[in-house]
Amino acid sequence: MPADDSILMMQKALQLLEESVKAAIRHKDGPSARSGQPVLERFSAPLGEVDATRWLSAQSLFPKLFWMNREKSEWIAGIGESDRIEISETGPNDRSFLVLDEAMQRKNPQARYIGGFCFNNLQKQNRLWSAFSPGLFILPLVSVEYRDGQASISCSLWLKPGDDRQKALEQLLLTLSELSAGDTPEAAPIPEMTRVDYCPDKAQWIENCETILRNFDEGKLDKVILARQTELSFAGKVPAIRFLLDYPFPENTAYRFYFEPVEGHAFVSFTPERLYRRDGDMLETEALAGTVTKEALKADDIAASELLLNSEKDIREHRFVKDTIYQELQPVCSHIDMQEEVGVLQLNRLAHLLARCKARLLPEFSNDSTVLRQLHPTPAVGGVPREKAMSLILSIEPFCRGWYAAPVGWLSHDAAEFAVGIRSALVNDDKVYLYSGAGLVRGSNPESEWEEVDQKIGDILAITQQTS
């Protein structure tokens, strides 16, 4: 659709929303929270074809949020905040998952919250992650969504007991009147990169890898994911939205997650890895592990698949993930269908071994806190055994993972979808921190694993280079 037509369509949709809110203001006896329970009022208008990332870029209201599934069949772009669920205390991740689930029981079943967790809430979050609580989920004030083949724009008003409905509606109407239909100038380009630093540096990385390999030799561990933080410095503030606008491989089989709670501080992930999708008691998850770098090997998709499927090291690494997921699901599921034949997920620069899994949750476990507890962290981002690997990661990595490799996504009362926040970046004003890791098993080569991390951050690094 031509840009002018798209803007005109958005203007008409916003006008319809404003008219709906005006009608609600006139209807003074509308729903309220007098009963002691919060009330959700939603107003929607249909849309045709729309570029959600461009629309998001044109807005000045924060937070800014974006989610797209791997199949590109469902997405949501949100601005502002109607309601939030925030977990600020440190402690075991299991506790954070339970707090989220308890909070969702008090929310409207139709409300869909977008957000994420930190990787390990036993690790104190440092200043880089100050805008990101250990758990934070937002119900957007205004959202553009695509579901079931239909795009729409909606606004949500979450009224708590004691809130003045008329005043809240009037404020919502004012906000809608100030929104852009997408006709404002595009975000500035990313400024020139001035410096690159690594944490750990290569010498420390090799030393850390050798420490882990000794643990394998002593029989203490089977697999550990070691991560690296790559710090990019720029000549000025980095407009975080450019990472969404300029993602260079739109056909890549990857989730897109963007979370900017305050201006200038954003977490973005282009991750190939699904943690799970839940629809009622039906669960979909997967084992994704083992990597081949197509660029380094000058391999096409067919050659990359052959290399992976014949690699003893990668098959062994993948088996740890597959077996662990199956074992973790057994206590909470009545039926588990794990794909026996391992396939290959093809990306632009990389390929990974993949096995899909479908399961039915037992009635008493049909909730997200159970699934999050059982599946996070998968062996693809933590290790085997889980607790020993997490403890070693905490002691050996010289930086805070924050939301990297943690569950990120959306949830409502009856459904949820979470990805694993890898292949990610944290934008903090004039700094961008890239995060990725490599799976170490017996026989891993530290030099090769360092190069694998370079390949995994390649897509995000390309964004900074093409716009400078």
Token pair listed for 18? 């404003």
Q: Where are the alpha helices (DSSP H) in 194-300?
A: 202-217, 242-245, 294-297
Amino acid at 462: A
Length of the chain, in residues: 468
| Rounded Cα distance, 234 and 179, in Å | 30
Q: State the residue for tokens 């934070």.
A: 136
Q: Which whole-number Å values give the CA distances from 151 to 75, 103, 282, in the listed order?
A: 9, 28, 26
Residues annotated within the binding site for Mg(2+) are 317, 452
Residues annotated within the binding site are 317, 452
Q: Any idea what the Cα angle at residue 140 is, between residues 436 and 409, rounded to 5°?
A: 30
| Rounded Cα distance, 452 and 196, in Å | 18
| Rounded Cα distance, 287 and 38, in Å | 39
| Rounded Cα distance, 409 and 259, in Å | 10
3-class secondary-structure state, position 179: coil
| Rounded Cα distance, 235 and 250, in Å | 28
Q: Which whole-number Å values give the CA distances from 63 to 98, 266, 267, 289, 464, in the listed order?
A: 24, 10, 12, 33, 23
- Residue 303, classified by CB atoms within 10 Å of its CB into exposed (0-12), middle (13-18) or buried (19+), is middle
Specify the DSSP class assigned to residue 124: P
Please, are residues 366 and 101 in contact by the beta-carbon 8 Å criterion? no
Residues labelled catalytic = 223, 273
| Rounded Cα distance, 180 and 196, in Å | 36
Q: Any idea what the Cα angle at residue 333 is, between residues 331 and 336, rounded to 5°?
A: 115
